[in-house]
Structure 1
Amino acid sequence: MRPPQVPEQSGGEPPSRRGRPPEPIDEMAGKTHRTWLEPVRSRLTESGLTLDDLVGRSGYSKAQLSKLLRGKGYYPGWEITYSVVRALDIPVDPTRRLWTAAAVEAAKDAAWIQKRLGDVPQSGLEEQPLAHLGLTQAMWHPYVAYARAFLQSDHRAQQVVAETFDILWLTWDEATRSPNTPRHAWLLLRKRVISRAPQRPGGHPDLRAAAFSTVTQAGIGDLTERLARIDVVARFFDTVACLPPDQLDVTVLRYLCGIRRDAVPGIVGLSPAITHSVDRHARGALQGLYPDTDTQE
């Protein structure tokens, strides 16, 4: 997937002028709206096209396109969004899914969404990059497990992982230019999960809800003992959430998600040696604060 070609000057060189970058995204634009709008804006900047060029390619006025690129005003219909996506040679299928999710976020009802999608005949499915498909298949389950630990909902976990892989498809060129594509993908997922997780006053994610399922699975019958155990485990998980990012991720994957030790490095995109060191430092910090708590438990 390459940026659209900019017409050459008579001397064979691309034009030196570049249009002004779009004004900042409106503060009222929702999180999901930004998931497809930000890659669209980045692609426009990378392409070297001006807003006037986009007018000619899309068939929409400068005022309409300016509003769309800023996320300002009413949520845009799929027809104008599709015209911009096609003009910039951006994959349609993942954008369509992200546009639909953002329409729900913008409180558009099912009838409105279906009507707008029906304005553009749907073509056949696009060919997904094989490397992206392989990464999706390999990482789907561990990504969902990680997201579920923070969001405490399988539906929300599946949703944020699907969104992550759609964004990754839209920005696949950037991902493959990265020296470590699995790491790039993991950090993209992590950012989306943490931004949706409940937050504690100190700014770290709230993992305390996981204490309830953990203690329930332990099968403690006595209610008083169970509540006391929940309190201990909740405070323990609160401390886990305060660990540095890599230590938090490895701890959650290994001890909350039950991921095999040898599988964790490939998931987070770190070498086995670094992952082992991160795990060791995390366990050391936790056992220093909670010497009577078994991390594996």
Structure 2
Amino acid sequence: MHRTWLVPVRHRLVASGLTLDALVSRSGYSKTRLSALLRGKDYYPGWAITYSVIRVLDIPVSPLLRLWAAAAEEAGKDTGWIKNRISEVPSLPSEDQPVAHRGFTQAMWEPYTAYAQAFLQSERRARKVVARTFDLLWLTWDEATATPDTPRHAWQLLRRTVLALAPRRPDGRPDLRAAAFSTVVQTGITDPFERLHRIDILAEFFDLITCLPPDQMDVTVLRYLCGIPDDAVPGIVGLPPAITHTLDHHARGALTQLRLNPDSQE
């Protein structure tokens, strides 16, 4: 995940029509160093060379700086190294976040975080993943708004980011069982034996949810693990109400069938 920020850079370079030679002449860095940066291999680039490229390509600096810093941390760079690399670049120009992007971020922050936390458990990790998603969305906002359905585009970006980091079962499915420990229902049970029994039941049920097709799983997680109201789900996942209602109906039927015939999930 630590090279995610390179994706919009590469896309913008292709869209710009600039050759690598033109990028060399405008950035002031050698072809060897720029090639290594764009390949995303061999070394983690400093902020100065990264900044020179994104300024040439007219990419918003603020969201990409946050992604670059988070990625540097994931790549094993310590805080001192990151701060020193950032300090090598003069103060950044102020940037205006697109108004529509800001409004979308405010509207989707809570449901996106709830979905992420269902898979990642840690609220801190969930918030970081959601922030990363919105920064990536800012960097590709023109592409997102050019699609037939911006909320759907954004939702798919979020779920890819979340599921790439989620723990996995041996068969490759996301592992939701740990969510059983943090449900509101079981935290109110005072008897420890009853609580453990309820956790076992919930963990088994949550495990079945990940056997569902992707859209059914998403609707189920939002409705029954995150407690999102039924009428709010369509706007979050970017699907018409009739379709989300059908997905919910089929998911509940499939879960009932899986509980009655556990061998059918194999």
TM-score bracket relative to the smaller structure? over 0.9
Q: Is the 8 A contact 1:215 1:229 kept in 2?
A: no
Structure with the greater alpha carbon radius of gyration: 1
Consecutive unaligned residues of structure 2, counting only runs of 5 or more, are: 261-266
Match of 1:69 in 2: 38
RMSD across aligned positions (CA): 1.3
Quick one: distance in 2 between partners of 1:216 and 1:263? 22
Q: Is the 8 A contact 2:144 2:154 kept in 1?
A: yes
User: Does residue 1:274 correspond to 2:243, yes or no?
Assistant: yes
- Greater share of helix: 2
User: Does residue 1:116 correspond to 2:85, yes or no?
Assistant: yes
Match of 1:128 in 2: 97
Give the AA of the match of 2:9. Answer: V
Q: Is the 8 A contact 2:63 2:135 kept in 1?
A: yes
Instruction: Name whichever of 227-236 and 110-119 sits farther off.
Output: 227-236
Percentage of pairs with the same residue: 69
Match of 1:238 in 2: 207
Quick one: distance in 2 between partners of 1:234 and 1:215? 14
Match of 1:252 in 2: 221
Q: Is the 8 A contact 2:186 2:199 kept in 1?
A: no
Match of 2:264 in 1: none
Shift of 1:218: 4.9
For 1:21-170, list aligned pairs within 5 A: 31-32=1-2, 34-170=3-139
User: Does residue 1:210 correspond to 2:186, yes or no?
Assistant: no
- CA deviation string 1:76-100 (max 9, x = no partner): 1100000000011111110100010
Consecutive unaligned residues of structure 1, counting only runs of 5 or more, are: 1-30, 292-297
- CA deviation string 1:260-287 (max 9, x = no partner): 1110000000000001000111111112
Quick one: distance in 1 between partners of 2:193 and 2:92? 60
User: Does residue 1:190 correspond to 2:166, yes or no?
Assistant: no
Match of 1:17 in 2: none
User: Does residue 1:174 correspond to 2:160, yes or no?
Assistant: no
TM-score by length of 2: 0.94
Quick one: distance in 1 between partners of 2:17 and 2:232? 42
What is the aligned length? Answer: 260
Match of 1:222 in 2: 191
Shift of 1:176: 1.1
Q: Is the 8 A contact 1:215 1:226 kept in 2?
A: no
TM-score by length of 1: 0.85
Q: Is the 8 A contact 2:231 2:241 kept in 1?
A: yes
- CA deviation string 1:211-245 (max 9, x = no partner): 11227635333333322222221111100011111
Quick one: distance in 2 between partners of 1:258 and 1:215? 10
